[in-house]
Amino acid sequence: MNEKKGFVVWLVVLMIFSGCDKVKSGSADTGTSSEGETSGRFNLSDAISDVISDPVFADCGRLLFPTNDRYMSGDTLEDLQLTWYSNIDPNETVEIVNTLWQRANDGETIFYDIYTDEEKAEDPEKEDTGLFFFKGEPNEKFAVCNAGGGFAYVGAMQDSFPHALELSKQGYNAFALIYRPGAQTACEDLARAISFIFENAEELEVDTDCYSLWGGSAGARMAAWLGSYGTAAYGGDDLPRPSAVIMQYTGHSDYTENDPPTYACVGEKDSIAYWKTMERRIDALSDLGIPTEFHCYPNLSHGFGLGTGTEAEGWIYDAIDFWEEQMD
């Protein structure tokens, strides 16, 4: 009887303390609980300010959310709202910050500066730039995701982090760019980011062949411009153009006969990016013999991100398939 009691006590103690061990890199518990709330370091009720100031994130914590808080509202992760965006899924927000926190806590590098200290000293606005890295399989191809925000701010938590996280789950190495607001400076930062990745490909363990550029709203314009005119046109190294551009909800209409294969999706009720404008551009590219794919989703407005719980849910897998077709 005493032996049985001793065993039970030992078992209870083991169960209590087994959850305290650090999770090894790549196996962070950032899943969803039975109540639908993502488990991990942070939860829905945690203050956004606590995420930003968490010492594990060091200085890059301030770049997880808009540096200009005029374009965001809500005190907690559950209440986060971003200007011009819809269908923000708070569980996705929590999963993103938990994934990045766990990887950083495990010693992974989750953020890379794209400018030197000297360059940032000359132009202090470059302090608010860099690449968040959602690592996939070693030496797999890479994608750069670019959030929108009207070139006034960077809405990464809805428009690039979710995409980068999902791409990494599919094995691809994904980067989310934090850039200087402004069309020209944003494109310069994207060109610099791509150049940085190519230059450091061995350290980053990425394959630079057949990379892709992703973007929503203003970020889609960035991806399209770099696809049309190349990195050198915006001050970067003279590098191959992307094998695919993936665009969401943008009124961008400019194109060239040298544009990469392009995938586009938009909501039918988008009052900012009219769906017919996107369709006309895609049709023009198709007429040039450029591979394209276009989707217009009913009942959706601007900035739906991954579209979780909407008619657009799963579009990202169609986009990945489109990108993979261009690799052949």
Map out the domains of the chain as residue ranges: 123-327
pLDDT in tens, 55-82: 999 999 999 999 999 999 999 999 999 9
Can you give the pLDDT at residue 12? 33
Binned at pLDDT 50, 70 and 90, residue 328 comes out as confident
- Whether the pLDDT of residue 109 is over 90: the answer is yes
Q: How confident is the model at residue 180 (pLDDT cuts 50, 70, 90)?
A: very high
pLDDT at 4 over 90: no
Q: Does 3.30.360.10 match the CATH number of domain 123-327? A: no
Q: What is the pLDDT of residue 39?
A: 65
Using the predicted structure, report yes or no on whether residue 225 has a pLDDT greater than 50: yes
Per-residue pLDDT averaged across 279-287, rounded?
Answer: 98
Contact between 217 and 249 under an 8 Å Cβ cutoff? The reply is yes
pLDDT at 324 over 50: yes
Average pLDDT, the chain: 90
Q: Exposed, middle or buried by CB within 10 Å (0-12, 13-18, 19+), for 277?
A: middle
Nearest alpha carbon to residue 246 among 165, 141, 321 = 321
Which residues, including other chains, have CB under 8 Å from residue 260's CB and lie 6 or more apart?
Answer: 227, 241, 242, 243, 244, 245, 290, 326
Beta bridge partners of 245: 213, 262
Lowest mean pLDDT among 16-25, 81-90, 93-102, 149-158: 16-25
Tell me phi and psi for residue 122, to 5 degrees.
Answer: -70, -35
**Stretch among 19-28, 102-111, 241-250, 255-264 having the lowest mean pLDDT:** 19-28
Half-sphere exposure of 57 (CA within 13 A, CB side): 23
| pTM of the shown model | 0.88
